[in-house]
């Protein structure tokens, strides 16, 4: 079994940090449902400003509120306005990898969804894997290491 990404809220911004509430992260149910995050599910949280990485569980806030509230000890890792990456995961057999399609939502500063992406892994004819990021229409987007067709930095010929 391999642990892989199941869904992701990428660039969602912290709306509040509540040190006095007992643990968790409070998220808008609309965002959770669309990305496939469940109430009480453990998620990894990565703060894009500070680099802090934490793990906590999801509780649902008010529908339509676009909230992202860090509670309890997690509140010490983030400030309102910080952009986060919130990711859930699933364990799959390697044979299931190509059938898994993680959903990724991207956000603006007001936590409005700006993009809906899907990750796709395919098996190559030589037995290796390829990875794609697909937009809402299913078109492949550039993968960062391949932007502009250049070779990743730090690699010798």
Could you tell me how many residues make up the chain? 157
Give the DSSP H or E segment for 44: strand 42-47
Is-contact 141 134, C-beta < 8 A?
Answer: yes
- Residue 45's CB is within 10 A of a number of other CB atoms, namely 22
Q: Which residues are catalytic?
A: 24, 57
Residues 6+ apart with CB under 8 A from 136: 115, 116, 117
């Amino acid at each position: 079994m391999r642990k892989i990404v199941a869904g992701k809220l990428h660039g969602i911004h912290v709306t509040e940090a509540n040190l006095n509430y007992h643990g968790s992260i409070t998220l808008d149910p609309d965002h959770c449902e669309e990305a496939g995050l469940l109430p009480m599910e453990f998620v990894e949280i990565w703060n894009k400003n500070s680099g802090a990485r934490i793990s906590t569980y999801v509780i649902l806030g008010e529908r339509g509120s676009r909230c992202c509230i860090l509670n309890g000890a997690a509140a010490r890792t983030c400030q309102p306005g910080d952009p986060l990456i919130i990711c859930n995961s699933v364990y799959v057999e390697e044979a299931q990898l190509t059938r898994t399609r993680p959903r990724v939502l991207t956000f603006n500063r007001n936590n409005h969804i700006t993009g809906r992406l899907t990750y796709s892994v395919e098996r190559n004819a030589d037995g290796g894997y390829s990875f794609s990021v697909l937009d809402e229409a299913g078109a492949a987007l550039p993968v960062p290491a391949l932007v502009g067709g250049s070779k990743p930095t730090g690699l010798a010929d």
